[in-house]
Amino acid sequence: MEKLKFIDAHSHLNFAAFDADREEVIERTLGAGVGCVNIGTQKVTSQKAVEIAERYDGMFAAVGMHPIHAGEHFHDTDEMSEEVEEAGVFDADFYENLAKKDKVVAVGECGLDYFHVKKEEDKIKQQDIFRQQIELSLRVKKPLVIHCRDAHEDLLHILQEYSGVAADMHFFGGAGSWENVEKYLGLGFYLSFTGVITFAKYSHYDDLRSLPLNRILIETDAPYAAPEPYRGKRNEPLYAIEVVKKIAELRNLSLEKVAEITTQNAINFFNLSL
């Protein structure tokens, strides 16, 4: 394996969107010096993320249950080739056994997503499943990868119930996130940025310029959210380089420098042994 020059802190090479050419994608990713943390969203995709991580140096896994799977059935064809089997049930033993494995570097993605649910009982279920994953992360001493959409107030409330939580706020920048950025930084959290920052209409360049560089991670969220100039195509971890380029441009630094800083941040945050 080449030395890793970039780390995509959040990708889903474990998803069905990569079933047809997963090995090729992984080879060109690692060949370009891009390492990845593939993120589970439920049992099957968590298991798959672990299998990939155990097969390749430079690939790591996070295991957990996405809040959209906490409520009623949700089907995403990019994610799953088969039906989801376990909506609403968090199998703590299953996730704990996976979370203890060496190549598993985080718990998640987990959190709250009120964009996709409106019923109060579904929100409460998400909150309960999120708490269980915070507790799992504290037990196994691995950080959380948090997904939060339209729910920052409740998320911060829940986080206040705990101490010692380490987390990355994945896909940072949706509604309500910049308003709370000081709170997340105050908790010691990392923030990760996707290809969305390369879009012409992106409106938070000043915010991005003022963030502490030692808290920034780069991610693709592949297969979703491809950056310019690949917008609209299936995303892949290689395109994380476009996110680094954009940050370099905004911060007046070289691509190499931002790559070095964000890779070191990922190593620190996920406690990676390379």
Q: What residues make contact with Zn ion under the rule CB under 5 A?
A: 221
**Nearest alpha-carbon partner for 40 in 139, 133, 162:** 133
Q: Which is nearer to Zn ion, 184 or 248 (CB)?
A: 184
Residue 138: closest CA among 172, 99, 190, 186:
99
- If the CB atoms of residues 149 and 248 are measured against Zn ion, the closer one turns out to be 149
Place of tokens 């705990």: 162
* Phi and psi based region of residue 225 (left: phi greater than 0; alpha: psi -120 to 50; beta: remaining): left
- CA 93 to CA 62: how far, in whole Å? 15
Q: Alpha-carbon distance 93 to 154, whole Å? A: 26
Min dist. Cβ of residue 253 to Zn ion (A): 27
Shortest Å, Cβ 158 to Zn ion: 20
Closest distance to Zn ion from the beta carbon of 10 (Å): 6
**Other CB atoms within 10 A of residue 15 CB:** 25
Q: Which is nearer to Zn ion, 177 or 248 (CB)?
A: 177
Residue nearest to Zn ion as judged by C-beta position: 221
Strands (E), 42-194: 59-63, 104-113, 144-149, 167-169, 190-193
Name the minimum Å distance from CB 3 to Zn ion: 26
CB contact set of 165 (below 8 Å; sequence gap of 6+): 134, 137, 138, 144, 159, 187
Judged by beta carbon, residue 221 or residue 236, the one nearer Zn ion is 221
Write out the H or E segment, with its range, that includes residue 47.
Answer: helix 43-55
79, 45 Cβ separation under 8 angstroms: yes
Minimal distance in Å, beta carbon 96 to Zn ion?
21
Helices (H), 141-178: 152-159
Q: How far is the CB of 254 from Zn ion (least distance, A)?
A: 29
DSSP type of residue 195: G
Nearest approach in angstroms of CB 170 to Zn ion is 6
| Least gap, CB of 39 to Zn ion (angstroms) | 5
Q: Cβ distance 9 to 218 under 8 Å? A: yes
How many Å apart are CA 74 and CA 116, to the nearest integer? 9
